[in-house]
Structure 1
Amino acid sequence: MPELPEVETIRRTLAEHVTNIKIEEITLFWPAAVCGWENTDFTALVTGRRIKTIDRRGKYLLIRLDEDLTLIAHMRMTGRLNYYRDHQEPEKHTHVVFRLEHGEVHFSDVRKFGRIQAIPTPLCISESSLSKLGPEPLEAEFTPAVLKERFGKKKLSIKAALLDQHVLAGLGNIYVDESLFLAGISPQRGVDTLSEEEISKLHQAIQSVLQAGIDAQGTSFRDYRDANGEKGWFEKALQVYGRGGDPCNVCGQILERIRLAGRTTVFCPRCQR
Structure 2
Amino acid sequence: MPELPEVEVSRQGLLPYLPGKTVRAATVRTPRLRHEIPPELPRLLSGRALAGIARRGKYLVFDFGGGWLILHLGMSGSLRLVAPETPPQKHDHVDLDFGDTVLRLRDPRRFGVLAWTEAAPETHPLLAVLGIEPLSPEFDGRWLHAALHRRSAPVKPVLMDGHLLVGVGNIYASESLFRAGISPLRAANRIAAGRCDRLAEAVRETLADSIAAGGSSVRDYVHSDGGAGCFQLSCAVYDRDGAPCPACGTPVRCTRQAGRSTYWCPRCQR
TM-score (norm: length of structure 2): 0.96
Q: Deviations over 1:215-237 (max 9, x none)?
A: 11101122111111111111221
Q: CA deviation at 1:149?
A: 2.5
For 1:111, the equivalent position in structure 2 comes to 109
> Paired residue for 1:83, among 81, 84, 97?
81
Q: Structure 2 counterpart of 1:23, which letter?
A: V
CA distance in 1, matches of 2:243, 2:2: 24
Partner of 1:147: 144
Q: Is there any run of 5+ residues in structure 1 with no aligned partner, and where?
A: none
Secondary structure of 2:171's counterpart equals helix
1:57 is matched by which residue type in structure 2? R
For the pair 1:35 / 2:37, whether they are aligned, the reply is: yes
Encode CA deviations 1:226-269: one digit per residue, 9 max, x unaligned. Answer: 11111111122111111111111111111101001210111111
- Whole-angstrom distance in 1 between the partners of 2:106 and 2:119: 24
Deviation at 1:205, TM superposition (A): 0.4
Q: Relative to structure 2, which stretch is displaced further, 140-149 or 154-163?
A: 140-149
With 180-189 and 230-239 compared, the bigger mean Cα shift is at 230-239
Count residues with an aligned counterpart.
Answer: 268
Rounded Cα–Cα distance in structure 2 between residues aligned with 1:11 and 1:265? 28
1:111-156 superposed Cα distances (whole Å, 9 cap, x missing partner): 110011111142x221222111111111112121111232241121
* 1:96 and 1:108 in contact (8 A); partners too: yes
Asked if structure 1 preserves the Cα contact closer than 8 Å seen for 2:177 and 2:183, the reply is yes
- Which of residues 202, 205, 211 in structure 2 aligns to 1:205? 202
Q: Considering only aligned residues, what root-mean-square deviation do their CA atoms show, in Å? A: 1.3
Using a 3 Å threshold, how does the CA distance of structure 1 residues 82 and 121 change in structure 2: closer, same or farther? farther
- Counterpart of 1:188 in structure 2 is 185
User: Where do residues 151-230 of structure 1 align in structure 2 (5 Å cutoff)?
Assistant: 151-230=148-227
Aligned to 2:118: 120
Instruction: In structure 2, give the amino acid aligned to 1:182.
Output: R
Matched residue SS, 1:187? coil
Q: Tell whether the 8 Å contact from 1:151 to 1:167 is kept in structure 2 after alignment.
A: no
TM-score, with normalisation over the residues of structure 1?
Answer: 0.95
Letter in 1 for 2:175: E
**Shift of the alpha carbon at 1:47?**
1.5
Q: Letter of the aligned partner of 1:223 in structure 2? A: D
